[in-house]
Amino acid sequence: MKLNGDLIMDEQKKQNNIRNKKSLIECRGVDVFYGDKQALFGINLDIGEKEVTSLIGPSGCGKSTFLRCINRMNDVIEICKVAGTIKIDNEDIYHPDVDVVELRSRIGMVFQKPNPFPKSVYDNVAYGPKLHGRILHKDDLDAKVEKSLERAGLWSEVKDRLGEPGTSLSGGQQQRLCIARAIAIDPSIILMDEPCSALDPIATAKIEELIDELKDNFTITIVTHSMQQAARVSQRTAFFHLGKLIEVGDTEKIFRSPDHEQTEAYVTGRYG
């Protein structure tokens, strides 16, 4: 009986792309609706700790929607309804007792278009620590800002212009500023939604390098339209199609020998 049950569990896990390794984020049967329209269908996906997971798939398949479920940014959209469970560190983040503000203070997010606040470079980075009241002393704050900018690979470029508005930086610098802003709150998770789509190849390369370094300390989930980028920066890749999770696995496997034909068609560029 017991053995049989385990077998069934194993079979289910395999089907639902669930790994046996310890995961930080566990999603089970996540459905998302925009009004009457369903955007995600029963997503089961585990995201491992301190690794980079990339979400790929054709436009409109629900990658951003899924990403926004993880820090509950979908709550902001009135017509959006989320069903199913998402656990971070075994805590159901959609439980009524969960404080969204506290949840988001543990998760950094980087958007497709760089969106620094119309404040100085310094204030952009200091915003999160000040907001959550974690750092009270000016010296500590200065150190935090420097460290975050350092980690985002921006310190050497902006150390003399901390007082200038963040919006006066170049596009690539702005995006790294947004990354610095996100890591300044010491999140355990960083979500990135096509962070390089507005950048040139050099700026993109810098950010990819950065992601690679950051993965030692952060759990990173990145949405990307570039197969090469997914292959370069991520350890695991999840392929979405029409609101369904088709396949998830080690990046190498997804790009070399995916289980599903659709995945193969997409990663080799034969899709559509």
Partner 1 sequence: MSKNLSIRHRAEKRFIAYGFISLILAATMLATIIGSMIYRSIPAYTNYSIDLEINMTEISAEDEFEDINFRGIIRSSLFSFFPEVESRSDKRKLFKLISSSASYTLRDFIIENPSYINKKFYFNVLFTDDSDIFYKGYVDTSLSESERRLDDQEVAWLNELKNTGRVKNKISKNLFLNGDSREPEVAGFWGATIGSLITISVTLLLSFPIGVLTAIYLENFAVKNRITDFIEVNINNLAAVPSIIFGLLGLAVFINFFGMPRSIPLVGGLVLSLMTLPTIIIATRSSLQSVPPSIREAALAMGASEMQVVFQHLLPSALPGIFTGTIIGLARAFGESAPLLLIGMVAFIVDIPSTFTDPATALPVQIYIWADSPERAFVAKTSAATLILIGLLILINLAAVLLRKRYEVKW
- Residues near partner 1 (CB under 8 A) are 71, 73, 76, 78, 101-105, 107-109, 111, 113, 115-118, 127-128, 131-132, 165, 167-168, 178, 181-182, 185
Q: Return all residues near 205 (Cβ < 8 A) that are at least 6 apart.
A: none
- Name the 3-class secondary structure at 132: coil
User: From CA 125, how far away is CA 52, in angstroms rounded?
Assistant: 23
Q: Which two tokens stand for residue 143?
A: 């150190």
Q: Which is nearer to ligand ATP, 39 or 47 (CB)?
A: 39
Q: Which is nearer to partner 1, 77 or 83 (CB)?
A: 77
User: From CA 45, how far away is CA 28, in angstroms rounded?
Assistant: 7
Q: Over the Cα atoms of the chain, what is R_g? A: 19
Stretch that binds ligand ATP, among 61-69, 101-109, 144-152, 211-219 (CB under 6 A): 61-69
Q: Which is nearer to partner 1, 194 or 247 (CB)?
A: 194
Site string (37-76) toward Mg ion, x via CB under 5 A: ---------------------------x------------
Alpha helix ranges (H) inside the chain:
2-15, 63-70, 100-104, 121-131, 138-151, 155-158, 171-183, 201-214, 227-233, 251-256, 261-267
- Name the 3-class secondary structure at 83: strand
Beta bridge partners of 249: 237
Cβ proximity of 177 and 113 under 8 Å: no
The identity of residue 86, as a single letter, is: I
Stretch that binds ligand ATP, among 54-62, 118-126, 145-153, 231-239 (CB under 6 A): 54-62
Site string (28-47) toward ligand ATP, x via CB under 6 A: ------x----x--------
Does 241 bind ligand ATP (CB under 6 A)? Our answer is: no
Q: Which two tokens stand for residue 230?
A: 């997914």
182 binds, among partner 1, ligand ATP, Mg ion, none (CB under 5 to 8 A by kind): partner 1
171 binds, among Mg ion, partner 1, ligand ATP, none (CB under 5 to 8 A by kind): none
151 binds, among Mg ion, ligand ATP, partner 1, none (CB under 5 to 8 A by kind): none
| Least CB distance to partner 1 at residue 16 (A) | 28
User: From CA 148, how far away is CA 126, in angstroms rounded?
Assistant: 9
Q: What letter does residue 184 receive in the DSSP assignment?
A: T
232 binds, among ligand ATP, partner 1, Mg ion, none (CB under 5 to 8 A by kind): none
Under the rule (CB under 6 A), what is the footprint of ligand ATP? 34, 39, 57, 59-65, 77
Under the rule (CB under 5 A), what is the footprint of Mg ion? 64
